Amino acid sequence: KPNRFYATQEMESTQTNSVRNHFILVHGLCHGAWCWYKVVTALEAAGHRVTAVDLAASGAHPARVDEVHSFEEYSRPLLDAVAAAPERGGERLILVGHSHGGLSLALAMERFPGKVAAAVFAAAAMPSVGKHMGVTTEEFMRRTSSKGLLMDCEMLPINNNQGAGVAIIMGPDFLARKYYQQSPPEDLALAKMLVRPGNQFMKDPVMKDASLLTDDNYGSVKKVYVVAKADGSSTEEMQRWMVMFSPDTEVEEIAGADHAIMSSRPTELCDALVKIANNLNTC
């Protein structure tokens, strides 16, 4: 099985030109770069450059959740990574966001459209031009709260000199039954040990600005949505609801993928990412 995991990627990632792919992977709420370990290993084995970032107060980032005062500050590690990348040329930049990380992707796409060859939303929040970014989070919370899907997650107040906010702590039952239910038990155990409180920044001005995302910038970047068909958190219905508002988005589907798509179906996700990269060669 491990041989197939790497050999498939090597076979499918053959480049038709000298341009090298650089994947930047962005984790979801409460997670960190650690959650991409299988995907990083496979993509690197296939010859691609890969960067997995820790957003502020996430993963191994040293800040505490109450020390990060804005969504901009939270997304800064990604924004800095994209800003440091060269303009399109010898290296092709492909952003991959998971869950809440899709909103940080959108901010980077709006700021640096000339540097991003494609953006992949893997079971991710994907906003649309003409709507404020917080719509995706509001709709998710509306659907989950009404059905009790947040289970044993806790909401904790954040008080700092920038005003009040709310942090979410993912409970072990929620992780086991709604997030990692199709994933290996080792990945669930890892998540239980490493998740940190996360701020959705629902009151942040960036989340409320309906004019933030523009056709010329965010709308000009190629988008691909990867649907996790066994997602018990952001359901398939919710994922397709987001795609509906961005009709030129390409769609890939992964059967049997739970919300932790990089853990439950890493080979299939890597296959999809390599396919997306190879399709850029023909554009």
Domain membership of residue 34 (yes or no) is: yes
Q: Which domain holds residue 221?
A: 22-282
Checking DSSP bridges between strand 154-160 and strand 163-169, what pairing results, if any?
A: antiparallel
Separation of alpha carbons 81 and 79, rounded Å? 5
Q: Which of 160-164, 193-197, 235-239 has the lowest mean pLDDT?
A: 160-164
Contact 237, 249 (CB under 8 A): no
Q: How far apart are CA 275 and CA 283, in angstroms?
A: 13
194, pLDDT greater than 90: yes
For position 86, what pLDDT does the model report? 83
Helices 101-111, 71-84: axis angle to 10 degrees equals: 60
Residues with catalytic annotation? 99, 231, 259
CATH number at residue 89: 3.40.50.1820
- Residue 226: inside a domain, yes or no? yes
For the chain, what is the domain count? 1
Q: 244 or 283, which is more confident?
A: 244
Q: For residues 192, 185, 224 and 281, what is the CA-based torsion angle, rounded to 10 degrees?
A: 120
Percentage above 90 pLDDT, the chain? 78
**Looking at the DSSP assignment, which residues form a beta bridge with residue 21?**
92
Residue type at position 148: G
In a domain, 11, yes or no: no
Q: Which one, of 146, 194, 144, 201, lies nearest residue 174 by Cα? A: 144
Residue 46 covered by a domain: yes
Query: What is the number of H-type helices and E-type strands within the chain?
Result: 11, 9
Instruction: Centre a 10 Å sphere on the Cβ of residue 281 and count the other Cβ atoms it contains.
Output: 13
222 φ, ψ (degrees, to nearest 5): -60, 130
pLDDT digits (tens, 9 = 90+) for 126-137: 999 999 999 998
Tens digit of each residue's pLDDT (9 = 90 or more) over 37-84: 999 999 999 999 999 999 999 999 999 999 999 999 999 999 999 999
Lowest mean pLDDT among 87-96, 157-166, 181-190: 157-166
Domain membership of residue 254 (yes or no) is: yes
Please name the helix (run of DSSP H) or strand (run of DSSP E) that holds residue 253, with its range, or none.
strand 250-254
pLDDT recorded at residue 11: 35
In a domain, 1, yes or no: no
Output the pTM of the full model.
0.91
For residue range 14-37, what is the model confidence (pLDDT) as tens digits?
A: 444 567 899 999 999 999 999 999
Instruction: Give residue 199's pLDDT.
Output: 95
Q: Identity (one letter) of the amino acid at 141?
A: M
Q: Which stretch of 41-50, 95-104, 135-144 has the lowest confidence by average pLDDT?
A: 135-144
